[in-house]
Chains A and B, each alone.
Chain A
Amino acid sequence: MITQYLFYFLSFVAIFSALLVVFSKNPVHSVLYLIITFFSIAGHYFLLNAQFLAAVHIIVYAGAIMVLFLYVIMMLNLNKETEPHKSTMSKFAAIIAGGLMMLSLVAVLRGAEVNQMKASVNNNIGLTQNLGKVLFNEYILPFEVSAILFLAAMVGAVYLGKKQLD
């Protein structure tokens, strides 16, 4: 019962702050609302008993990535005067693209039945121990491949940063 109320509350907060991300005038406020959105999504993970995912979601997204976002926005000090002016053409294209996206989402959700969404998975799969065992036994190859991807991205970032200095 409490879980259900929490679900509605978190969903409301998530959607409301996600809308504010788009609608607020000040970029710094947008970033802060995005952080609230991340927190409510982490709350959803907790409701699904995915504790590890929830904690890592907060550490990585709210704690690291958004801090860097905030850095860039604070340093650039974006405001109304420096905002690049978009042409009518691109605004029109954005509306059409967004509309198409919504159309396909509605089409997908219409076809789905609510009963099918009840997946029969182990409820405790989100606990750190179980997740680690699955990740390092069954999915060791994809896990290592994604690690190499991260390493490549890091090397690339360092290389680009070095090039700027010379």
Chain B
Amino acid sequence: MTGYIIYQIILVVAIFTVSLVVALYATYGERKIAAILQDRVGPNRAGPFGILQPFADGIKMFTKEEIIPETANGWLFIIGPCIAMLTACMTGVIIPWGGTFELGGTVYSLQVTDINIGILYLFAVVSFGVYGIMIGGWASNNKFSLLGALRASSQMISYEIAMGMSIIALVMMTGTLSLGEIVKQQDDGYCNFVYQPLGFLIFLICAFAETNRAPFDMAECETELVGGYHTEYSSMKLGFYLFAEYINMFISSAVIVSFYFGGYNFPFQHELGLSGNLLTVIQTIVFFGKIFFFIFFFMWIRWTIPRFRYDQLMKLGWKVLLPLSMANIVITGLVMWLTGKIN
């Protein structure tokens, strides 16, 4: 029992560290990819190929002067970025990062906890993430911040609905709310994307909106709102808001891969005849490969598609994605009924 608890603690700390490191290097990756897409060189001064750039940025953020506005609401001004970071880091525990491995006769799982309400937990955390932005924007006591917070949070709430609806079709098909089980069902090489292409597309668009990434980065469109909800933030508090976005991007890529692209499974994995532990290692590497592709995809879109106007964004969310996701539920139900999966 004690060994189990120690293992769980190690796993949680490992996942936390990996999330932070991936997010750290996602900032570097974003600048490099932006540079490639715009035919520039990108950061190349700190270390070879500029790979120490994220640490230089971090040190800069920490050592900058911290300014808290006099009229700001003291405690809430600090709690805002805390909630943003907390909700970004909380989802990692339900994602199956790999299969199981055996060590000294005991079988360990690379998923911290396979709660049977995994998807609901995910939504609870996502819906709580709005508070980080709203509290931060309001506590700044600045009209631009408040407007930015209202825009960002109403965007997140609107897209949460379409996101939930697109997941319902997936839950209908898999018949479970647990992420571990959903990934296990894609064991045979047919990932859920084959059955749910429309659901995947809706989920992907909503993931962009939820993480406040371009083309939905209404929260920080500096041309209209100065800086959005974090106008008044400086130093590492600003850093946490920006950093939380990269962690969110990493986690939502992991969720997309688990839901629709087979998670840690890869084709013909059982034909290779590998032993359990080696297979788990390869599975985890494959999983991270898929995640990195989606992180790259997030950045690729950011530097390809211009920002939406706010009314276009709301129209897309409420008048296109929501009806489409409802139609997706009906189609899924019909197909399941016709193929005899339900009676």
Measured CB to CB, the residues of A under 8 A from B are: 28, 32, 35, 51-52, 55-56, 58-59, 62-64, 67, 70-71, 74-75, 127-128
Contact = CB atoms under 8 A, between A and B. Distances in A.
B124 A59 contact: yes
A28 B135 CA distance: 9
B153 A67 contact: yes
A52 B120 contact: yes
B46 interface: no
Nearest to A58: B124
A58 B127 contact: yes
Interface residues of B, number: 25
Contacts of B117: 51-52, 55, 128
Nearest to A35: B131
Interface of B: 73, 76, 115-117, 120-121, 123-124, 126-128, 130-131, 134-135, 138, 146, 149-150, 153-154, 157, 160, 177
B150 A71 contact: yes
Given A28-B138, A67-B157, A70-B134, A55 B127 contact: no
A114 B116 CA distance: 32
A71 B116 CA distance: 33
Contacts of A64: 127, 157
B116 A128 contact: yes
Given A52-B117, A67-B131, 10 more contacts: A51-B115, A55-B124, A58-B127, A58-B128, A59-B124, A59-B127, A62-B128, A63-B123, A64-B127, A67-B153
Contacts of A74: 134, 138, 146, 149-150
Contacts of B124: 55, 58-59, 62-63
Given A63-B128, A64-B157, A55 B120 contact: yes
24 contacts: A28-B76, A32-B76, A35-B131, A51-B115, A51-B117, A52-B117, A52-B120, A55-B117, A55-B123, A55-B124, A58-B128, A59-B127, A62-B124, A62-B128, A63-B123, A63-B126, A63-B127, A67-B127, A67-B153, A71-B150, A74-B138, A74-B146, A74-B149, A128-B116
Contacts of A127: 116
Contacts of A32: 76, 135
Nearest 7 A-B pairs (CB), nearest first?
A63-B127, A55-B120, A58-B124, A51-B117, A55-B117, A74-B138, A59-B124
A19 to B, nearest CB: 18
A64 B160 CA distance: 10
B79 to A, nearest CB: 9
